[in-house]
Amino acid sequence: MDSPQYRVFVCTKKRPVDDPEGCCCNAGALNIYQAFANEVERLQLGDRIKVRKSGCLDQCESGAVAMICQPARRDFGWLPTKIRIKLRKLLFPQRHLYGNLTVEDVQAIAQSHLIKGKPLQRCQISPRS
């Protein structure tokens, strides 16, 4: 079975509204997730692109946040979860972070990144170090 060409992780972490860290859910992340899912279905890309909800991607100040990755060729599913998380950079060497997303941005990202393979620079954010 071929692995998907891209995986889209949309942070849907929810924190209380008055939490100073903020969260993507309060920034419309569920609508962003649904917009990605709808766009992949509309473009009939479901066989090579998987859209998933994720936990916090550690970019909370830029919510709503999504990360697009190309899966590693090797399957590390046998590793314990904690180790897999620590190896995320190795598992997904090609990853791009998008932040401050609106539903309107999703169609542009799908056209540029998911179809043409060119990350959409205007919506990208730098990973917090």
Chain residues binding ligand FES by CB under 6 A are: 11, 13, 23-24, 56-60, 63, 65
Nearer to ligand FES, 37 or 54 (CB): 54
Q: Name the minimum Å distance from CB 35 to ligand FES.
A: 16
> Where does 1-129 have alpha helices with state H?
29-42, 81-86, 88-91, 103-109
Per DSSP bridges, beta strands 49-54 and 6-11 are parallel
Q: Name the minimum Å distance from CB 26 to ligand FES.
A: 9
Q: Name the minimum Å distance from CB 36 to ligand FES.
A: 15
Nearer to ligand FES, 35 or 57 (CB): 57
Those residues whose C-beta lies under 8 Å from the C-beta of residue 34, and which sit 6 or more positions away, are none
Q: How many CB atoms lie within 10 A of CB 15?
A: 15
At 58, is the secondary structure helix, strand, or coil?
Answer: coil
Q: Name the minimum Å distance from CB 49 to ligand FES.
A: 21
Which pair of structure tokens corresponds to residue 128? 């917090």
Nearer to ligand FES, 57 or 69 (CB): 57
